[in-house]
Structure 1
Amino acid sequence: MSRVYIVTDSTADLTEEEVKQFEISIVPMNISIDDDNYIDGVTITKEEFKQ
């Protein structure tokens, strides 16, 4: 029997509970603001991005 894996990028609006419940893998997106580059959820938080 094959197993299904769910993979999404970090722009998906998922709760931590959903990520854990369905064992979802999240690939962080690169964000460029002016001349600065960030990794979503790694080097910049959602709150920092909104500012």
Structure 2
Amino acid sequence: MNKVKVVTDSASGLPKDIEKEYEITVVPIPIQVGEQSYKENVDLSAEKFY
């Protein structure tokens, strides 16, 4: 039997409880600000960005 894994990027905006409940992997989107690169929700929160 094949197994299926749900993967999305951080633009999905999924709540953390849904990510955990369904074991969804969220790949952070890279954000470039000038010469500096950040990973969304890893190196740079949405609150800090906006």
- TM-score band w.r.t. shorter chain: 0.7 to 0.9
Output aligned runs, 1:17-36, within 5 Å: 17-36=17-36
Which residue does 2:16 correspond to in 1?
Answer: 16
Identity %: 34
Q: CA deviation at 1:15?
A: 0.5
Secondary structure (helix, strand or coil) at the match of 1:11 reads helix
Q: Which has the higher helix share?
A: 2
Output aligned runs, 1:35-50, within 5 Å: 35-50=35-50
Please list every run of at least 4 consecutive aligned residues from structure 1 whose deviation after the TM superposition is greater than 6 angstroms. Answer: none
Q: Which runs of 5+ in 2 are unaligned?
A: none
TM-score, reference length from structure 2: 0.84
Q: Which runs of 5+ in 1 are unaligned?
A: none
Task: Count matched residues.
Answer: 50
Secondary structure (helix, strand or coil) at the match of 1:32 reads strand
